[in-house]
Amino acid sequence: MTALPLAEDKPLMTVDELLEANVLPLGRSAIYASAKAGQIPAARYVGRRLMFSVAELRRFAGLDATNGS
């Protein structure tokens, strides 16, 4: 897994950015299906684009030890 950016530097990531960074061991359709099922945290549609909160992804991956930041 490639390092996620800090939430302060990049608050949101798109599916393409997640795929490019190899953040999740999933393909495009699996990311959409997992987001729809609620298995990936903080997935929200902004217009037609699915966006992920970097802060929530970092917590999900266990990269942030602090709560609420």
Please indicate, yes or no, if residue 6 is contained in any of the structural domains.
no
The answer to whether residue 41 sits within a structural domain is yes
Q: Which amino acid is it at 32?
A: Y
pLDDT at 69: 45
Domains in the chain, number: 1
Which residue carries 């390092």 as its tokens? Answer: 3
The DSSP string of 12-59 is EEEHHHHHHHT-SS--HHHHHHHHHTT-STTEEEETTEEEEEHHHHHH
Strands (E), 2-69: 12-14, 43-46, 49-53
| Per-residue model confidence (pLDDT) at position 66 | 57
- For 4-55, the pLDDT digits (tens) are 888 888 999 999 999 998 888 899 999 999 999 999 887 889 899 999 999 9
Q: Is pLDDT at 65 greater than 80 in this prediction?
A: no
Domain presence at residue 2: no
The verdict on residue 40 lying in a domain is: yes
Range of 32's domain?
16-60
For residue 53, what pLDDT is reported?
92
The answer to whether position 53 is within a domain reads yes
- As a whole number of angstroms, the distance between CA 17 and CA 4 comes to 10
